[in-house]
Amino acid sequence: MEKIILLSNILRDKGLPVSIRSTKDAFSAYKIFKNRPELREALFSVYVKDMRHSEAFMDAYNEVFGVLDEENDESSGSGKGERIKSSEEQTPGEVTEGINIEDLAEIQPEIQDIFDSRTDESQILDRDMSTLNTFDPEIFELCRRLGMKIANRRSRRLRRSKKMRPDIRRSIRRNMKHGGTIIELMRAEPRERKSQHIFLSDVSGSCDWISNWFFCIVYAAQKTFYRSRFFDFDSRVIETTHLLDEDDLYDAFRNLRESRIRNLMLHGTSNMYTAFSDFLENVNFTGKSCIVILSDCRDWAGPRKDGIPESAELVAEMSEKARKVLILNPEPKKKWDVVDSCVSIYRDAGAAVKEVRTLRQLAEVIEGL
């Protein structure tokens, strides 16, 4: 048991998500295969949930069991013929090397504590998204998990909203005939909210990488958005909603990048006036639509009148036609309204602006839509 616990701790230090259940399963596998060459494969199947962690597992296994395997090879003659007791034959609570398997809960932290202690993931969540400019598979996986968490929470919230809670006002009125005694309990009818969500992602040079993670999170959470649509824009608008139907996130992201290359939308310059004009002219939406725009609110190439970007008039038109226009700004608030930033101008036009400088902030805003 001490060796299994040591292996679990080493794997946890290497970044693998090792739970109490995994350690118990590994101990059961060890009791079955400890004198057999299949031990490594058995423990591998218990601990490794992602093939990217296979090398870390091999290093940890060799560190813990390397000497033990050599000793078994040298003394294999004396060990042959001995039958190993299976887990069913072990008595409950059997102690191996002085440690009871039921004491694991006191020795090992809970799985949530394990994830919370993984500083790498926490640092990525709170790191400025403008610095996450590599195709790191771990970041993709993190965005996928964030999106799934958002989808689960939104689904739970939807289910709660459909529960018919007691309507006190109607109940009192109905029970007036009973002298005010509540005999017939009236329940409120659930509100039907089917707001279409339209996502506009700025893919100009200043927001290029940030728009990638935005797409990944929306991709994973899309099932809980009613008739959602996704668009890329710099000086024009390109619809990429069909990419959300891809079965795999990596395929969707690869096709997204190819679409941007094909439409010459990599590291371009934003002209929000022509982009928003194109959007209003070609995209139909109703008063129940929620328009979510990822942008740093810097209309680099758009025309201005008296120092005010003309794109503000188009934002005002969107705000008038749609239920809500929400701008997600990846810049820190201290940079808002500095130089050519027009956050206040867009706010005056009717848009709400929120800071989404980190993945955590972005996920929280999307969850609240």
How far from chain centre, in Å, is Cα 142? 6
Dist CA 314 CA 280 (whole Å): 8
Of the candidate ranges 18-22, 52-56, 148-152, the one whose mean pLDDT is the lowest: 148-152
**Residue 272 pLDDT > 80:** yes
Q: How confident is the model at residue 124 (pLDDT cuts 50, 70, 90)?
A: confident
pTM over 0.75: no
The two tokens of residue 19 are: 């739970």
pLDDT given at position 191:
57
Separation between Cα atoms, residue 312 and residue 281, nearest integer Å = 16
* Tokens matching residue 96: 């191996």
Sheet with 237-239, edge to edge strand ranges? 237-239, 226-233, 196-202, 290-294, 324-329, 352-355
What does the pLDDT read at residue 153? 73
β-bridge mates for residue 230, sequence order: 199
Half-sphere exposure of 254 (CA within 13 A, CB side): 7
Domains annotated on the chain, with CATH: 2-79+99-117 (no CATH), 143-162+194-367 (3.40.50.410), 163-191 (no CATH)
Token pair in block for residue 324: 């809500």
The predicted-structure confidence for 207-245, as pLDDT tens digits, reads as follows 877 888 888 888 877 777 777 889 999 888 989 888 888
Residue 67 burial (C-beta neighbours within 10 Å; 0-12, 13-18, 19+) = exposed
Query: Which letter does DSSP use for residue 133 in this model?
Result: -
DSSP state at residue 129: G
Residue written as token pair 């395997």: 69
Average pLDDT, the chain: 76
Cα–Cα distances in Å, from 108 out to 6, 23, 59, 65, 367? 11, 9, 21, 20, 32
Say what percent of the chain tops pLDDT 70: 75
Residue 162 has a pLDDT of 60
Taking CB atoms within 8 Å and a gap of at least 24, the contacts of 275-279 are 275/233, 275/234, 275/235, 275/236, 275/237, 276/311, 276/314, 276/315, 276/318, 277/314, 278/233, 278/236, 278/237, 279/200, 279/231, 279/233, 279/237
**CA 178 to chain CA centroid, nearest Å:** 53
Buried b (16+ CB within 10 A) or exposed e, 81-91: eeeeeeeeeee
Q: Tell which residue, 87, 2, 4, has the closest CA to residue 47.
A: 4
The per-residue pLDDT for range 36-94, each reduced to its tens digit, is 778 888 888 888 877 777 888 888 888 888 744 444 444 444 333 333 343 344 444 44
